[in-house]
Amino acid sequence: AVTSPLGVVRLLVLLALRLPLAAARGVLSFLFPSLFWKSVQGEVVYVTGGAGGIGKLMSQKLARLGAHVVLLDKNVDMLAAAKKEVAAVAAKGVKVHSVEVDLADRQATYAAMEKASELAGPATMLINNAGIVTGKSLLEGSDDMQELTMAVNSTAHFWTVKACLPAMMEADHGHIVTIASSAGLCGTPGLADYCASKAAAFFFDESIRMEMRKQGKHGVKTTCVCPFFIKTGMFEGASSKWPRLLPLLEPEWAANKIISAVRCNQEVLVMPFAIHLAPICRAILPVSVCDATVEWFGVLDSMNDFKGRGAGGKAPYPVGSSVKTRSSPKVA
């Protein structure tokens, strides 16, 4: 038994051996990430929300590195343009496909994943990047938009992963990437639905990682990304009280960090570094002190001037829209 004297000794020996190695690898991969990079050449990567923002940037970088890419998104016009942009920078021989999908619709999502497999082959890497934000308080937000936020930001992950994971497990080779958020680590006014959806995505990723560990599928990796606000327009108007400590992230920088973390098989990427304080404070500080710390960081007012990009921009799920679903994907 684990609680027996021998079990305790084994645990202590395991910790004594693994902790220094894990710490050393973490420091080295942070300072010299290229030493640990794996090749993505020939991988088949599905990217949800691939028509714009971070999704498109990651797709371009992966295509440059020799990965075949399938862009999945709801906005048909943006999808067609993104496909051309990704193909324009892709390495020789790389194939780029696009599939329209409404991730709020379970059947449409499974159909789109099947179509992606027909076009490019089974995914060896899945990047669950698609996301929406309403930026409204709990009582101001509509039921439809709150349900839609949960569906796109977290529930759809169940469907996309279930579509891709069996082939990955059979080959004992694959990578599931979850773009969560720092909002999944710390509650924020005006983001109740978004925070809940990203917390769900974070722990969904952790559960998948534990399932792969339990089943001995060590070749199937997972990476969960928890960034602060990225300046893609999605969080237009959001602010940081301490921009040196908690800067709004540049999309190019963020995309580079994500791709580097994936290539290093890094399990969790939190950026910027100060965001690590959120779970630490929650674990060791009284709730009242933790709440006061969050207020000092300016989190309570970070969404005061939020505008987002839904009202006038090309957003697949504009803020205030009704939930619309489709039963079959369109292929570009």
Q: Cα separation of 308 and 23, whole Å?
A: 39
CATH fold of 37-301: Rossmann fold (3.40.50)
Give, for all 332 residues of the chain, the pLDDT tens digit. Answer: 556 888 888 888 888 888 888 888 878 887 888 888 999 999 999 999 999 999 999 999 999 999 999 999 999 999 999 999 999 999 999 999 999 999 999 999 999 999 999 999 999 999 999 999 999 999 999 999 999 999 999 999 999 999 999 999 999 999 999 999 999 999 999 999 999 999 999 999 999 999 999 999 999 999 999 999 999 999 999 999 999 999 999 999 999 999 999 999 999 999 999 999 999 998 999 999 999 999 999 999 999 999 987 544 455 554 433 344 333 444 44
- Is 194 designated active site? yes
Query: Edge to edge, what strands does the sheet with 44-48 contain?
Result: 96-100, 68-73, 44-48, 125-128, 174-179, 220-227, 268-271
* Cβ pair 319, 310 in contact under 8 A: yes
Q: Where are the alpha helices (DSSP H) in the chain?
A: 5-31, 53-64, 76-89, 106-120, 143-150, 156-171, 192-214, 251-263, 277-284, 287-296
Which residue among the candidates 46, 110, 194, 317 is catalytic per the annotation? 194
Spatial separation of the C-alpha atoms in residues 36 and 29, rounded to whole Å: 7
Query: Taking the mean position of all CA atoms in its chain, how far away is CA 31?
Result: 23
Tokens standing for residue 186? 């710390």
Looking at residue 200, what is its pLDDT? 98
DSSP string covering 158-218: HHHHHHHHHHHHHHT-EEEEEE--GGGTS--TT-HHHHHHHHHHHHHHHHHHHHHHHTT-T
d(CA 270, CA 236): 21
Buried/exposed 63-73: b ≥16 CB within 10 Å, e otherwise? bebbbbbbbbb
Name the residue among 210, 114, 224 with its Cα closest to residue 167: 114
Beta bridge partners, 262, equal none
Alpha-carbon span 95 to 151, nearest angstrom: 29
What was the pLDDT predicted at 312?
Answer: 44
Would you give the DSSP letter of residue 249? B
Which amino acid is present at 169? M
Residue 96 CA to its chain's centroid (Å): 21
Give tens-digit pLDDT for 94-129: 999 999 999 999 999 999 999 999 999 999 999 999
d(CA 202, CA 262): 16
Return all residues near 113 (Cβ < 8 A) that are at least 6 apart. Answer: 46, 159, 160, 163, 164
Q: Which amino acid belongs to residue 289?
A: V
Give the burial string for 30-43 (b: 16+ CB within 10 Å, else e): eeebeeeeeebeeb
Separation CA 96–CA 83 (nearest Å): 7
Q: Give pLDDT tens digits for 186-217.
A: 999 999 999 999 999 999 999 999 999 999 99
